[in-house]
Amino acid sequence: MKHTPSRVAVLAACALSMLLPGCSDNDAKQPSQAEKFSIDSNPYPSTYQPIPGSPTVITNVTIIDGIGNQIEQGMIHFANGKIVALGDNIEIPNGATVIDGKGKWVTPGIIDNHSHLGVYPSPSVGSTADGNEMVSPVTPGVWAEHSVWVQDAGFSRSLAGGVTTLQVLPGSGNLFGGRSVVLKNIPNRTMQAMKFPDAPYGMKMACGENPKRVYGQKGGPMTRMGNVKGYRKAWSDAQDYLRQWERYEADYDAGLNPKPPKRDLDLETLAGVLTGDIRVNMHCYRADEMVTMMDLMKEFNYQITTFHHAVEAYKIADKLKDNNVCAAMWADWWGFKLEAYDGILENVPMVHAAGACAIVHSDDDLGIQRLNQEAAKTWADGKRAGIDISMADAWQWISANPAKSLGIFDQTGSLEAGKNADIVLWNGNPFSTYTKAERVYIDGGLAYDLNDSISWPVSDFEVGQPTEGDAK
Amino acid sequence: MKTLMAFLTAAVLSATASAQQVAIVGAKVFTQTEQGVLESATVLIRDGKIERVTEGTEVPAGYRQYDASGKVVTPGLIGALTSLGLVEVASWAGTVDATAEPTPISKTGAALDVSYALNPDSTVIGVSRIEGFTAAATTLSDTHQLFNGQGAVITLGTGAPLIKPKAFMVVNVGSQGADGFGGSRAALWVALEQALQEASEGRVPGPESPWYGMNTRADLKALKGVIAGETVLYMEADRVADIRQVIAFKQRHPGLKLALLRATEGWRIADELAASKIPVVLNPQMNLPGNFDQLGATMENAARLEAAGVVMAIGMDTHNIRLATQHAGNAVANGLSHEGAIASLTSAPASILGVADQIGALAPGMRADLVVWSGDPLEITETAEQVFINGEPIEMTSRQSRLRDRYMKLYETTGNPSSHYIRP
């Protein structure tokens, strides 16, 4: 993410010296230019620091590498936060911690690309309901990171379930719900300390029933066609806004002294999508609506990264593949509203089998604790329906594919030499009801140890309560 | 459909075989009776009832045989708390009989009766049935009044649904109940006592007598069932303080039949719960401090309650009551015994609901509702291969499996069909 001087910095410089060119009100002194105005694209930067680790080798363990391979009786070596090597037989360096993985499994850390931890935290009360800015259908200018409450106990529970990275999204009440934030799942004092360094921003959009239910009696949209008009108007405005900035840049670069356009925080996020810097996460259930949204993205020349929930993705899996759009799905949620009525158990494997990018997401503070089981259920259902997918391939639904959707697959999401050591050691086959995450490493540091209660994170909210530190 | 056909093909139809006599042969059988778990056994069914369960694989003459060797058989699972048959789509899609607004017929919510509202054609029932659920406790989830009406125990078969009407009544005595009743438990509990007091005093007044109570006459009739211990009072509470109130309530009203719902912090006073013989219906996955009633939430709740001797049912959902097997399995991963988990889905809810003489176990004379599983029913990758209701194998399809097949067929089609909606 590029760092550019902020508006505030420019003003401060002017306050110090009215003699500097560009600080004078008198623009008649052409051709001298005002200092070029640019926008800080990273004003709330990550302060994440990995927890210290030590060189470690896990031996004699079943490894799923997250890119389709399963190694029996394998070994994996990680050090200095990175994966060094994995395979049947690798060298064990002097001084490394060696863990016997007999009967156990190693996988990439789980990545949930749809969570509301922190913005709809526990306790779930009015005071903490910070996920849905339902005052206007178009609020792309709000950022989920400004709502994240780091004392949500849900972070530590999902860590115990092997989640190493998660995307926290605004809710789906609005057509444009705001920006998402990608977090490393190491509970800490501040959101910035959890923020995944340099992960691209995402933006939430929502199809269908929610926006029209929320705004139908509040000035609209009150129909699905109203929803689409709302998206089109916003994208059209964003195109115009982007042109203003492009003109400013061009004029400035041509030696002119143009006045910068007035900043608009909503359009700024939308413009970020149009320039390809911000990734679109669109809540959409129905197949026909998803196809309309893919036409919309072509009309305005942007890319939808992922449809979220996508309960009917199985009906249009071929079109998802053709348009390079991922579908993030539940294993078995259905029926809570009409647009979720056609849910089937084989949605995920059917999308995978069509060659599209399938993701299992949680959208839930309990489901995020067992995404391995969510993947296992739908994998088994697919298998019974004749869709033959290996466990190693299925694991991509909860690591590699969400990492790709978030734009961080170059760093995490699979076990490959040089990547971040985001690793889970399971005490058995993670496709079983009875298996638990035994050790969870993030950037090579041991973030959770099932067998060491001292390692279990306790949020401030839980301190001093009658059952602080209990097994959860 | 595939599985049903397999069953019919596998069936050995002798000339003397009666359609009403079925033998399920060779499975590991969880009887949920004193017979316990039999590693290889035969379940004999006659006229829709369990005839007996025998060890080994010998079958008397005259039975249609279903080979279940290598499989697992349990009694049909019972949804311990659902709104099955009362809701098709929960939100914004037509009438939901699982919720009711106040009307003049009831002032406390007790009178409402789901017996009139059940729809056996609901796709939610079909979806749940093929995953091994053959019966359920079903009730209203919200009445905006003190009680959530009279719930029923229903079969998830295709015939007449009622097994036991007026089986139970839910009252929330935690924060949610208080929020719906003046915003304070100080009002809620007085109202609860008053409502029951009115119902315990003599006869329900006729239309000729003036009546100024907090219940309507219809409420009083319904609460008579609670007073008599015929309708189980499900008391919903999470925090220890509220659970203690429930125990004290039981001591004040020893004639009532009670069960505790949720009991998130129940483990903290598990011994007291066990001593007062109050069973629990819960979702063992609740491990977050979702509000100030749930600070002690832990995945070990079920295991700790079991260790103290509390009878426990697992399964609180409607569209996905089928996930109760996973919930129970996760409780096992956190210390619950496997046999306790199977009981929590079968015999325990049957006994809590007062229908243990009909469902929840494979005992002679009971409904032949049972499930042949591909393996351990609690293991997420296993499945119900064939469900029997009233002794008959059901068709193992649902609206969901039909949609799956329709679209899998679409992708198998070569070329670009103009429409797959046209039936051949």
Categorize the per-residue pLDDT at A166 as very low, low, confident or very high, splitting at 50, 70 and 90. very high
- Report d(CA A424, CA A161) in Å as an integer: 9
- CB pair distance less than 8 Å for A466 and B297: no
Share of chain A above pLDDT 70, in %: 93
Beta carbons of A123 and B322 less than 8 Å apart: no
Q: Do B262 and B372 belong to one domain?
A: no
Which among A436, A461, A470 is the nearest to B333, CB-wise? A436
pLDDT of residue B414: 65
User: Which residue of chain A comes nearest to B410, CA vs CA?
Assistant: A315
Q: Give the model's pLDDT for residue B403.
A: 97
A350 contacts B400? CB cut-off 8 A: no
**Nearest-Cα residue of chain B relative to residue A427:** B333
* pLDDT of residue A298 exceeding 90: yes
Distance from CA of B15 to the nearest CA of A (A): 35
Q: What is the mean pLDDT of residues B276-283?
A: 98
Least confident of A394-398, B129-133, B152-156, B204-208: B204-208
Token pair for residue A205?
A: 């959009």
Distances (CA, A) of B190 to A211, A257, B53, B259: 42, 76, 50, 20
Residue B57 has pLDDT above 90, yes or no: yes
pLDDT at A411: 98
Contact A337 B90 (CB under 8 A): yes
* N residues, chain A: 472
- The pLDDT assigned to B187 comes to 97
Rounded to a whole number, what is the distance in Å from the CA of B47 to chain A's nearest CA? 32
- Say if CB A129 and CB A78 are below 8 A apart: no
Which one is predicted more confidently, B30 or A5?
Answer: B30
Q: How many domains does chain B have?
A: 2
Beta B162-172 vs B147-155: how paired, if at all? antiparallel
Amino acid letter, residue B96:
V
Name the residue among B35, B36, B7 with its Cα closest to residue B23.
B7
pLDDT category, A18, cuts 50, 70, 90? very low
B288 and A344 in contact by Cβ < 8 A?
A: no
**Tens digit of each residue's pLDDT (9 = 90 or more) over B367-423:** 999 999 999 999 999 999 999 999 999 999 999 999 999 999 988 876 665 677 766
B383 with B352, same domain: the answer is no
* Residue A125, min C-alpha distance to chain B (Å): 7
- For position B275, which CATH number holds? 3.20.20.140
pLDDT at A5 over 60: no
Instruction: Indicate yes or no: CB of A434 within 8 angstroms of CB of B333.
Output: yes
- Nearest C-alpha in A relative to B294: A123
A334 to chain B: closest CA residue? B319
Flag whether pLDDT at A10 surpasses 70: no
Gap from B89 CA to chain A (nearest CA, Å): 5
The confidence score (pLDDT) of residue B424 equals 53
Tokens for B88? 């098709």
- Smallest Cβ distance to B323: which of A332, A346, A472? A332
Whether B13 shows a pLDDT value over 50: the answer reads no
Average pLDDT value over all residues in chain A: 94
Nearest CA in chain A to B299: A472
In chain A, what residues touch B401 (CB-CB under 8 Å)? 344
Q: The tokens 């295709």 sit on which residue?
A: B158
- pLDDT cut 70: percent of chain B above it: 93
> Which domain range does residue B37 map to?
1-76+360-424
pLDDT in tens, A334-385: 999 999 999 999 999 999 999 999 999 999 999 999 999 999 999 999 999 9
pLDDT at B411: 85
- Residue range A387-396, pLDDT digits in tens: 999 999 999 9
CATH number at residue B423: 2.30.40.10
Burial grade of B422 (CB within 10 A; 0-12, 13-18, 19 or more): exposed
CA distance B240 to chain A (A): 11
Contact flag B380-A432 (C-beta cutoff 8 Å): yes
Residues B270 and B366 in one domain: no
Task: Provide the ipTM.
Answer: 0.95
| One domain for residues B413 and B279 | no
Q: For residue range B319-363, list pLDDT tens digits in order.
A: 999 999 999 999 999 999 999 999 999 999 999 999 999 999 999
Separation between Cα atoms, residue A238 and residue B18, nearest integer Å? 74
Q: Do B296 and A366 touch (CB under 8 A)?
A: no
Specify whether the CB–CB gap between B167 and B353 falls below 8 A. Answer: yes
Check CB contact under 8 Å for B89 and A467: no
Confidence (pLDDT) at B5: 42
Query: Do B160 and B248 belong together in one domain?
Result: yes
**pLDDT tens-digit map of A72-82:** 999 999 999 99
Residues B162 and B293 in one domain: yes
Q: Are both B285 and B394 inside the same structural domain?
A: no
- Report the CATH architecture of A109-413: Alpha-Beta Barrel (3.20)
CA atoms within 13 A on the CB side of B316: 19
Q: Based on the domain organization, do B215 and B293 belong to the same domain?
A: yes
Average pLDDT over residues B249-278: 98
Distance CA B155, CA B391 (A): 13
Q: What is the C-alpha to C-alpha distance for residues A470 and A450, in angstroms, rounded to an integer?
A: 12
Query: What does the pLDDT average to over B6-24?
Result: 60
3-class state of residue A245 by DSSP: helix
Give the C-alpha separation, A268 to B131, whole Å.
Answer: 49
Q: Is residue B254 domain-shared with residue B189, that is, in the same domain?
A: yes
Task: Give me the pLDDT at residue A1, please.
Answer: 40
Across the A:B interface, residue pairs with CB atoms under 8 Å apart total 140
Q: Do B191 and B179 share a structural domain?
A: yes
List of chain A residues whose C-beta atoms are within 8 Å of the C-beta of residue B380: 373, 376-377, 380, 431-433
B66 & B194 share domain:
no
Give the gap in angstroms from C-alpha B97 to the nearest C-alpha of chain A: 14
Measured CA to CA, the distance from residue A444 to residue A455 in angstroms comes to 15
A169 vs A1 pLDDT, higher one:
A169
**Chain A residues touching residue B296 (CB < 8 angstroms):** 465-467, 470
- From first CA to last CA, the distance across chain B in angstroms is 19
φ, ψ of residue A424 to 5 degrees: the values are -120, 130
Answer yes or no: do B411 and A386 touch at CB < 8 A: no
Residues of B in contact with A472 (CB under 8 A): 287, 297-299
Q: Which of B317, B343, B359 is the last residue of a domain?
A: B359
Q: Convert the pLDDT of each residue in B87-140 to its tens digit.
A: 999 999 999 999 999 999 999 999 999 999 999 999 999 999 999 999 999 999
Point out the residue among B292, B297, B403 whose CB comes nearest to the CB of A344. B403
Determine whether the interchain pair B92/A318 forms a contact, defined as Cβ–Cβ distance below 8 Å: no
Check pLDDT > 60 for residue A440: yes
Q: Can you give the pLDDT at residue A16?
A: 40
Return d(Cα A289, Cα A226) in angstroms, integer.
13
The pLDDT score that the predictor gives to residue B419 is 73
Query: Rounded mean pLDDT of chain B?
Result: 94
**pLDDT at residue A22 above 80?**
no
B37 to chain A, minimum CA–CA distance in Å?
20
Chain B residues inside the 8 Å CB shell of A435 = 333
Query: From the candidates B386, B400, B419, which should be mutated to test the interface with A, based on the most A CB atoms within 10 A?
Result: B400
**Which of A389, A434, A465 is the mutation pick for testing B, counting most B CBs within 10 A?**
A434
Q: What is the pLDDT of residues A208-225, one digit of tens each?
A: 999 999 999 999 999 999
The percent of residues in chain B predicted with pLDDT above 90, rounded, is 90
Residues B231 and B216 in one domain: yes
- Percentage above 90 pLDDT, chain A: 93
To test the contact with chain A by mutation, choose from B381, B402, B416 the residue with the greatest count of A C-beta atoms within 10 A, namely B381
Q: Find, among A271, A307, A276, the residue nearest to A405 by Cα.
A: A307
pLDDT average, residue stretch A441-462: 97
